[in-house]
A = this chain, B = another copy of it.
Amino acid sequence: MPSSIDLPVDPPARLLMGPGPVNADPRVLRALSTPLVGQYDPAMTGYMTETMALYREVFATSNEATVLVDGTSRAGIEAAIVSLVRPGQRVLVPVFGRFGHLLAEIALRAQADVHTIEVPWGQVFTPAAIEEAIVRVKPHLLAIVQGDTSTTMNQPLDELGAICERHGVLLYTDATASLGGNAFEMDAWGLDAATAGLQKCLSGPSGSAPISLSERAVEVIRSRTRIEAGIREESDEDTGEPIASNYFDLGMILDYWGPRRLNHHTEATSMLYAARECARVIVAEGRQAVIDRHARAGAAMLAGVQGLGLTVFGDVAHKMNNVVAVEIPAGVDGDGARGAMLRDFGIEIGTSFGPLHGRVWRIGTMGVNARFDTVLTTLAALEQVLRRAGVRVPAGGGVDAAYESWG
């Protein structure tokens, strides 16, 4: 009998109801298996141009500079920060969970002068608190997570653009966990840069990071752009002082996606196909309809876990639609219960990081899994796992509450 390593991948069936990655939409899986074309094939450059247009709809923007960074969502974050910030420039990061720490760390490594403000995990910032810090720190860039899955919180961004405009600050947000499942208005909110990933509400695999940049952000980047020595022509200028990364030099990436088509990396064709299809299925359903579906599924899951008698973590009024954190009941082995969900029911739910590790479970309803059947199935299974772990749960309390919420 051949060992597993001699065979193609054949993973077990899983319903991924954690904080992401979640199941990919079957249409995205089909797109992934599409045959390749060359990187300058008219079909390929056409798909790149279509992908830019599709993500403008997803980000709700008219930004010409809307492309993919070839890597996971944190590749998009690092590309944004390293391209927008010069060493020594001040960056302000409001931290309300793990991914705020990540933005700060990436900015520190980019040799920025990083300042943070914090609220306890489970809360968000008021616009006033952020403006106060801006006045005090006078940053070049405000870098803030929209939805931090580590706490499930959804930071309101709608007033931050005007605040940053007032103080001459660039505004970047990491929308990895929130985009597609929660309100997001790149242009209306006055954002200069936003990045995401495919593996949350966009129903794709991790490995491609959509990014959109305002004209102001592009100007900042262009002031630092250069052309690679191996393809530079004599007429090309070298503006000196390069961005510290070649791979994440957004000026080069824009020159590759733009009309000059200057060779940089070789675009990750299969992931481009996937990213295009992720956006296409959202645009086909309707951007607002997808957000509404996430709101409805998230509300049903919230009602359901409360109906099971579980305590929800954090400020529920500011929770993302697509994930809820519940406190692990006293006396229950959290990882054991998650293991039973996975092993016996084929359903994955998550734990968390740092101060919440082992204290909460995180349950997602995102992307193609933001559906009523997935909510009911997860609640039914969780009820059984809790009961067998010795927790007194109201029989059918989760499922009934979800039915009532869904309407």
Name A residues whose Cβ lies closer than 8 Å to a Cβ of B. Answer: 4-6, 8-14, 16, 18, 20-24, 27, 29-39, 41, 43-44, 46-47, 50, 53-54, 70-75, 78, 82, 97-102, 104-106, 108-111, 150, 197, 199, 205-207, 228-232, 242-248, 263-271, 273-274, 276-277, 280, 284, 342, 348, 353-354
CA of A197 to CA of B265 in the docked complex: distance in angstroms? Answer: 11
Nearest CB on B from A97, distance (A): 8
CA of A12 to CA of B342 in the docked complex: distance in angstroms? Answer: 41
Of residues A5, A100, A265, A354, which shows the largest number of chain B Cβ atoms within 10 Å of its Cβ? Answer: A5
Whether A78 pairs with B245 at a CB distance below 8 angstroms is yes
Nearest CB on B from A259, distance (A): 17
Whether A53 pairs with B21 at a CB distance below 8 angstroms is no
Whether B268 pairs with A230 at a CB distance below 8 angstroms is no
- Given A16-B38, A199-B266, A270-B274, CB of A109 within 8 Å of CB of B8: no
Inter-chain contacts of A247 with B (CB < 8 A):
71, 74-75, 78, 106, 248
Nearest CB on B from A15, distance (A): 10
Inter-chain contacts of A13 with B (CB < 8 A):
35
Whether A16 pairs with B33 at a CB distance below 8 angstroms is no
Inter-chain contacts of A246 with B (CB < 8 A):
74, 78, 102, 105-106, 109
Nearest CB on B from A184, distance (A): 20
Whether A273 pairs with B72 at a CB distance below 8 angstroms is no
Whether B37 pairs with A14 at a CB distance below 8 angstroms is yes
Inter-chain contacts of A12 with B (CB < 8 A):
37, 41, 43
Whether B32 pairs with A268 at a CB distance below 8 angstroms is no
